[in-house]
Each structure stands twice: as C-alpha cells, then as structure tokens.
Structure 1
C-alpha cells in the first residue's frame, strides 16, 4: 500500500529499513538497527578513534541525555556535563528522535561546527557551538598524586581494547615507584567492552564470580570468574564514580564493592546494566539487541539502579582560607639569608613535577585520597 499510494516514490528496501529503525527502539532504549554507516562507526569507536564531538549519549526517561563527555575532546572542553539533556541538534528537536539518528547528526566532518541546545538542572536552556574533531581516546592515564607520594592516580576514561594491557604495565611498576595504594577514577566513564571490565577486575580479585549475565535464551547466560594468577590482591584501592559512570564502569566498581576489594567514593552511577549483542544481518548491516542483564557477584542488578558508593561525596570545590599574617623567622634581621635562599631553591625544584595529578579543590578526589592514605597507614601498622 505504501509503494502504491505514498506521495513519493519509495522502494521496499527503504520501507523495511525505516520499519526496523522504528521497531528496535520500541523494545528498549539500547536496541537499534545499524545501517551501513552506523555499523561502520560502531566498529571504529570500539577501536578507540572516531570522528565527532566526544560525548557518549543515551536515552534516559525518554530524552537524549549525555552519559559522559570524553576527556580532552571538543565536548569536554566546551563544558558539557554528564546529565545534560540535548534538546536540539542544530535546528532539529531531539524529542521522539532515535538514538542512532541523534548520533548520526552529531558526527560529521572534522572542522565543521554544530550547535546543541542544552537543558541543565537548575539553569535555563542554553546553546553550545562545538567544532567536530577526530576523537582519539587515550583510555588509561596514570599520574602521581599531588601531596600523596604513596598513591598512584589512574584515570580510565572508557573501556576500549587498550585498558587491560595499559593497566598491567602501570601495576608492574608500582612497587619500584614506591606506591602503596591506587585511586581508579571512573567518573564520566561511559563503559565499553565487557572483556576489558572483566580483565580489569581479574587484576584485583583472586577468586569468585566477577560478574554474570542472564537472558531469556540460555546461550546468553554467562558467569565470569576470577583467576588467582597475576592478581594484585593486597594493594588498597579507592574507586571514584559519579552519574556519568555507566555500564562497564558500574560492573568494575560494583564488583570491587561486592568483593570488599575497594572503597567506592562519589555519587550513584548511571544505571545501565543491560547487555547488547551486535547481530550482523549481512556484511554491512546489523542489529544491536538487548539480550541479557548484568548481575554483580552479590546477585544485585545495576539496571536502572546503578551502584551506590560506600561514601557519598557530591562534587564541590574546596577553597582555602588564607592564614592570618604572622611574623616569622624569615622576617627577622638576624635570619640567615643564605640558608633561606637554599630552602627557597629546594622548594622551587619540587614545584611542578612532571606527570602530577593536581587535586585543585576536587572534593571527591581529595576524600578518596584521604581514605586511601588511612588504608595505607593501617596496612603499614600490620607489618
């Protein structure tokens, strides 16, 4: 009937494609039809490089929501935040728009501009113009932590194929560097590959279930177990999470929490605990279909609930009060100026060390560092 009576000439293939695009999102927010272009982009993004803005988006409560901006991308630099609602892409309203259509509109030729209309809690809608770029994701960054010499700060921005190999290299050098504890920052990490989440957990948990998935079809049921070989089972860990931590991030933080292997600090995570399988239709097309849900070792689900931190800390900036001006030894005439110059010189040499993660008033990071410092002291007292 469409072919016979529709106002424009339209062929069967186009009709079927449109039907599929309409059908799958009606099942749930994460199922979708991947045409040739979308299927190609999916393959590229899991390899850690793609073109676009540098945000991960999803449907939350029926609206297009930023799950997280990716570190050091145009979207991140433009100030977009987890939880922001994208109301319009250029002049197109996103209400009733499919997730794949929205992603397709936002991706484009590097150097071209796009304007997003954003709704943020407690603010009036505002527009942000961003220049598209090739997004190269360095998924793991390790730094020393300012004022905490025994702590290694590890930032995991997404779980692409490079995470576990990168972590193994970092962990192998901890003892040589004199580090006795690690902070794993999963804030605004949208997830990624399940095998990388499982591999990350296996580095810190030596036995038991890491995560399981259960679906209607028995072949989709899977239990992932820890292996004792190569496990860093004694090093204290603090994991930072927030509302932008989703999927694989929630598996890692939730499983470490269940195993009492880490202290989780921050805010309740996004709540994406479903498993999507990519089922190819042919060489160029596929469907992304929700086939199972994740369950943490305790049996609890992440879906729509997220992971609640052990210690809830909302983002805030810490401001130092300037101490009252006191008369110090350095102000006295009799002070040995030469000695003071030596001290000042030493101070200067210590400033701005390379590869240092500054806390910069980050309350969540500061809280995590203080907790980890206490755990390190507790470990030392047992020796």
Structure 2
C-alpha cells in the first residue's frame, strides 16, 4: 500500500513525562463534602505523619479500604525510605544474620529494631549476594515478616536520627522530606496501582528544560533482576543494540540488583552531552556494554499526540494513531482525533480517494482521562453501553453512546502489549458492540480508574487513588487479563499471523465507492481470508523495500492493513 501523510493544522507535541502524564484512566476529584467521615486514627505517629494523611483520604475512596494496613505496604515503605539514603539497605534480621559475614557494613541502632536491620555501606557485589538462590531467600524472609505501622515508625525514627545526627563523619545528601516522601511512595504503591505525584510550581515550569530522560521500561523479577519489558519498533533505543528481555546489570558501573525501580529510574536522567552506560546481560551468558546519550526529543510522526495517514490499496484505509488521551492547553486528544478525521476525509475527497475503512491505532497508548476515552468511544460507537464504573457503595455508573459518532466506516482497533487502561476499554467495547475488529497482540490488562486529589496538608503532593475497575459492556473486567485480539499479528519480522478457525463479521457498515451501505454480513471464512492475504497482500513487498532503504518497517501495521484489506474485499455486499 502507498500512503499519504497529513496532520491537523494545529497539533500538539506529545512527550511522556512521569510527573505529568497519567498512565491510567482518571475521574474528576471527588467532592469532599459528599464523602463519608474518615475513621479516627487511634495512635499519633511522629515519623510517618504523611502516611497518616494518606490513609485518611484513601479510606474514603480507595477500592479496598480495609486493606490499608497491609504489612507489605509498610515493608515497602521501610525499604523505599531506607534506600533513599545512599549506600543504605534494609534487610530482615534473619536474612542478615545468615549472611552478615558476607554483607559486612555498619548496623544502625540494632537495639531499636526487632525484626529488621539497616545496613550502612553493605557489600552486595559479592558473588554470593548476587545469586538467584540468595535473592529468593531474601524474598522468603520478607514474606515471613509480620510488619506493622509501629515497626515502620521505628525504622523511620532510625533514619531520622541518621539524617540529623551530629557526627563529624556524617555524610547525608538527602533531606528528611525526601525520605518521608519515599516512604509514602512505597506505602501507596501496594494499593492496586495507586501512586503519589510531586508537582512543580509555576516558576519551575517556565524554566528551560535542562534535564532529559531515557524512557526504558523495566520490570523486576522475584530474584530482583531488572528486565527490559518492551520496545516499540520506532524506539530510538534499538539503534544502540538494546532488545526486549535484556537484563540490566549495572548503570554507570553501579550494580542495581538490590535497588528498587523507583531508585533506578532517576539514574536515566541527565544533561545534553552526557550519557548513561549500561552493562547488559542477554540469553543467560552474553554480556556487553551499551552507552546511550541524552538527546532532546523532537516531535515526529510517532510522538505527536494524534496523527493520520491514508493508505492506498484495493481498499483505501485511514490510520488514526493516538498516543494518549490527554488534555492540552488548547486542544484535547479527542479534539485532535476529530480534526484528524475531518482533515483526512477532506483531503481524500479532494484527491478522489474513497475511504473504505479506519484503523484506530492505540498501540503504546496507556490511557488517560476517562471523559476523553468515553468521548472517543462515542465518536465510533453510536449507541449501546460503553462502560460501567462502581465506586464504593454508590450505584453503578453506566455510560452509553449518545448518537454523536463521526463515522460509520468499518473499523479496526490495533493494540499491543503496551496498550493499557482506557485504550483497552475502547478495543473491548468496539468488539462487544459489534462495531469492529481488534488486531495486534494482547494488551496490558490495566483496567482501573483513578481519582486525583491533592494530599491534605501537602500542597506539592497529588494522591492518585484507584477507585474502581472498568467494566466492559458484558459486565466483565479486563484488569489483570488484558484484551485478546481477534487476529494476532506480531510486531516482529517473519512471524506468521494467527487466524481463528472462524469468527462472525463485526462490520455491519460497508463503504462502497465512498458511500455507506447497511448490509447483512456472513461470518468470515478464516481460511479464505488467509489465502487472500497471501495472494494479494502487499506487506511483504513494502517491508522489503523499506528494509533496503535502511528503514525499520512497522510489521504489525503493514500486516494489519493487508488483513483489513482482505476483510473488506471478501464481504458480501
């Protein structure tokens, strides 16, 4: 297929920033006057006052308020707070006693803590400490702890004394407020993707950007290995030899195995002209060094919030790529989707190119504001139930289509493993309302709703609370499960597509010569469709051409265009 590229006259650049871009759907901040009174806190805590404020607010709207005294939350808070002090780590005492001759270091106020110890300057690069077996033992030791709020208070008191101790050789480069916030982050992170966000004041936002980030998605295994989870085909990191499932061993020569992810991510920040050096492990025994420079990101087709292309083939298909459902100063994502569609259709009409179908490309789109996601669904789904949310004891909130759709052209939603939250909801609802197909690979499985609230008493902290699951029109949740595509299409080269044995057509609106017609559609024949794609598809030729030009083909999109072309060609008019 050939394509024509266009963009809305006015577009927004899209830059992912952990402090401002919200990974999951959000609801407006609840009205405090409508909430039930918080439970009284039985005990006053001096060193974990911020967590007290967090608990009070979460008791009102969190999905599972009875879980707020989870021991794991207090353990994570203690671990995060301790590692905020460089060269300090917290271990269960049983684990430390077993390996203290290897760990060495200085024990801080051992008599104050009963079940855990804080070690200053531990030796963690010894081969014994780097073994999977020892790391599994550490996990087991943490799991056996009966850790309470009082235990956390004791840990925080030790850290407080370490910060303010008047000793000649004291070297502390962090403030107490940083340690307090780290503890709160660890605590909140245990509650179904709830989180804390530190805001910046207006004067800071006006300053020129001097610190840049390398966006490297990581996950942590049970043995504390840091694994690269996924890289999009357009990721600039691929040019440095980084691949999915690589393990990062060191950053700038520092071992990171015992560090949490929240401690690691700031290590990917730096100034222009600087770089970060990684030691990578691949396929169990292959190691090598990678140096990645900090670069200023510039807007392009892959970073703009919304962009569009017209692909010409046996059927002409409009691709609308949406990178997130965010709100800008002038326009929202849905404003740009509508503008992109209208500009494309006007462009196609002027060039006498009838558009027969639309691909709504939601790959690597992790969601955004729930009201924008609902608006997007209404653009493509004219009627029927779209989504249900259930907050606390309130009546379920059901949202329906309202007849405001902008098109009835046949529709495909393209997803991948980085498609999350509201973007997954759109795909699932399109299928359940028989409005279109889903192509690509299984999505993330993050079907939850957040509310954003300023933390009482802390002007610079936003509390992001999980308040509800997202329920599909059939009443099911997809959180933890993800959305499976109708046709599995890989984003890698030379991987065959997976067609189901048979499936009913989702396309009830067929466009012929640019005119929409309602018709009765027979179930699709997968064998016939696969044969059509093999015979008439153009993806292979396009991939070969782009590869010879030194370009990285978008395998998933090109094969999806072939399949969509085949579906449109094989429909019974």
TM-score (norm 2): 0.49
Aligned ranges 1:1-383 → 2 under 5 Å? 2=157, 6-9=161-164, 13=177, 16-28=180-192, 30-36=193-199, 51-55=212-216, 69=231, 74-75=236-237, 78=240, 88-90=250-252, 91=254, 93=256, 95=258, 97-99=260-262, 101-116=263-278, 124=286, 127-135=289-297, 136=299, 137-145=303-311, 147=313, 150-161=316-327, 162-172=332-342, 173-174=344-345, 176=349, 177-216=353-392, 218=394, 222-232=397-407, 234-281=408-455, 282-318=458-494, 363-377=555-569, 382=573
Q: Distance in 2 between matches of 1:211 and 1:269?
A: 18
1 CA distance for matches of 2:238 and 2:554?
Answer: 17
CA distance in 1 between counterparts of 2:219 and 2:393 reads 25
1:8–1:269 Cα change, 3 Å: same
Q: State the distance in 1 between where 2:482 and 2:436 align.
A: 17
Task: Name the CA distance, whole Å, in 2 between partners of 1:17 and 1:102.
Answer: 16
Partners of 2:322 and 2:245 in 1: how far apart?
A: 19
Distance 1:8 1:70 in 2: 42
Query: Residues of 1 paired with 2:285 and 2:355: CA distance?
Result: 42
Matched residue SS, 2:372: helix
User: What CA distance in whole angstroms lies between the structure 2 residues aligned with 1:200 and 1:83?
Assistant: 34
- What displacement does 1:15 show? 5.2
* Cα root mean square deviation, aligned: 3.8
The alpha-carbon deviation at position 275 of structure 1 amounts to 2.2
- Checking the alignment, whether the CA contact within 8 Å between 1:88 and 1:118 is kept in structure 2 is yes
CA offset at residue 68 of structure 1?
A: 5.5
Moved more, 308-317 or 257-266: 308-317
Residues 104, 362 of structure 1: alpha-carbon distance in 2 compared, 3 angstrom cutoff: closer
Q: Deviations over 1:84-110 (max 9, x none)?
A: 6656544251655154x4443333434
Pick closer, same or farther for the CA change 1:78–1:193 going to 2, 3 Å. Answer: farther
Unaligned stretches of 5+ residues in structure 1 = 45-49, 320-358
Aligned length: 330
Partners of 2:280 and 2:324 in 1: CA distance: 23
Q: 1:4 to 1:291 in 2, by over 3 A?
A: closer
Asked whether the 8 Å contact 2:250–2:256 carries over to 1, the reply is: yes
Partner Cα separation in structure 2 for residue 87 and residue 211 of structure 1: 43
The alpha-carbon deviation at position 223 of structure 1 amounts to 3.2
Which structure dedicates a bigger proportion of its chain to strand? 1
CA distance in 2 between partners of 1:295 and 1:127 (Å)? 45
Between 118-127 and 248-257, the greater mean CA deviation after superposition: 118-127
Answer whether contact 2:313 2:565 (CA < 8 A) is retained: no
Deviation at 1:225, TM superposition (A): 2.2
The structure with more radius of gyration: 2
User: In the aligned structure 1, how far is the partner of 2:399 from the partner of 2:217?
Assistant: 26
TM-score normalised by structure 1 residue count = 0.70
> For residues 398 and 476 of structure 2, what CA distance do their matches in structure 1 show?
14
